Amino acid sequence: MKFNIDLKELSSRESERVEWKENGDDKNVINSIVKTISAFANDIANFGGGYVVCGAKESKDEFGFPKVLYNGLSSEKLKEIEGKVLQHCRDYISPSLAPIVQELDSPNNKSTRILVFIILASPDAHTYRDGESVNYYVRISKETKEARNGILSQLLIKKQKIEYFDKRVSSNATESDIDVLIFRDSIQEMGLYHQGKSLEDYFSDKEQIAELVPPLFVRSNLTGILQPRNFCLLMFGKKSSITSIFPEAHTIVSIYKGFNRSESTSERHTLTGSIIEQAKKANELLNSQAYMVFDKTSKKPNQVKYPIRALQEALINAIVHRDYEVPHPIRITIFADRIEIVSPGSLHWGVDKTKFLSGTASPKWRNQSFAYLFNKLQLAQSEGQGIPTIFRTMKEEGCPEPVFEIETESVICILQANKSLQIRE
């Protein structure tokens, strides 16, 4: 397969898709190249693959802007690097890879060449063996990094090696860890309780409480014991069981009278137990911030500091779409002029980052069962409407547009208070 590669065009592409290597004449550089090849093949960012370019390096011009310097490779060096990299791809990547190789003229020296490895996205999850260590690698921003914790789970879910977190069996829990009263009250509130059934009928590995939700339990092949799926335990479990099995699955609400964390908090709430209970308690605390102010001198005398719907959607989005394998709680911090909601775990791998930041991304579920059941509780909007609702309601009430900060292991939603109220307060 022949690709028409333009080095100038390649240098202008996203750094996530291109890795520049000045040469590759020692073991460390070869290892680095092959790790990056496996990362591009794993393609967690949905770019379709990437390029490793040998014989060039990234630099900066006199104004500080990035540019690429082409030193090129001799014929002998090029063949040496190509041979070593392809051998490492066969011997140390599993399943093995065979990147496409192309040689290009060096822009600055006709006696040298540029070596390009073209890596297509793979349907498999590839490991790289470095000595005794075997790890998965992914491309995060412009760096190749080992996939750990939530990023590793995200990769394996994408490659369909494991189920989504909410549908997995909670192997350390049994029927006794479910709070029957919370379960009964919740399914009645959802409109999913049927008079002709007993609660025991729902505690099954066959019975579904709703069409898009799998059975609450899975029966162990070894012991025959019913074990709850993660969504069942986190939504309907006893407080002590959830805290024991998922110690970081709680919410911390901190309230500051001022504008930053250097001041002492006036209130701090640690919310534990089922995520339904956490959502309702956190919602009450947030609603107290959405008070209305009457100003007879204004053209719009009745103004709210925050729209209630925006606060609720931001909260439920953090609970429903968080990555429960990232070992951090949800953190809600209320300042005098803004509210910050930190949800553990980065964006779902299928969500377009640019569209998400503008509130126009297509919906993707990380925890489908949570999303569906919270919608039934009328605590969340229908599929894909949460983020657009935040943007819309903030605008309608004269508040600044919401800000989302996307980090490797968290998504932060920042809602700023109505500016006219900030001035008066």
State the pairing for strand pair 251-256/330-334.
Answer: parallel
Where in the chain are the domains?
7-162, 166-241, 251-424
pLDDT per residue over 38-80, tens digit each?
A: 999 999 888 889 999 998 887 777 777 777 888 889 999 999 9
Going 240 to 241 to 244 to 250, the CA torsion angle's sign is negative
pLDDT per residue over 363-419, tens digit each?
A: 777 888 998 899 888 876 555 578 889 999 999 888 999 999 998 889 999 999 987
pLDDT per residue over 193-210, tens digit each?
A: 887 788 778 898 988 888
Q: What is the pLDDT of residue 1?
A: 57
- Mean model confidence pLDDT for the chain: 87
Q: How many whole angstroms separate alpha carbon 375 and alpha carbon 353?
A: 24
Beta-carbon-side half-sphere exposure of residue 30 (alpha carbons within 13 Å): 20
Contact 255, 246 (CB under 8 A): no
> Please, what is the Cα angle at 268 between 262 and 271, to 5 degrees?
140
Classify residue 371 by burial, with Cβ atoms within 10 Å: 0-12, 13-18, 19+.
buried
Q: Which of 8-17, 325-334, 416-425 has the lowest mean pLDDT?
A: 416-425
99 cis-preceded (ω within 30 degrees of 0): no
Supply the pTM of this predicted model: 0.75
Q: What is the pLDDT of residue 383?
A: 55
| Nearest residue to 4 via CA among 160, 145, 116 | 116
Contact 51, 102 (CB under 8 A): no
- 7-162 carries CATH number 3.30.950: yes
CATH number of 251-424: 3.30.565.60
Structure tokens at 244: 């024991």
Angle between helices 180-190 and 368-376 (to 10 degrees): 70
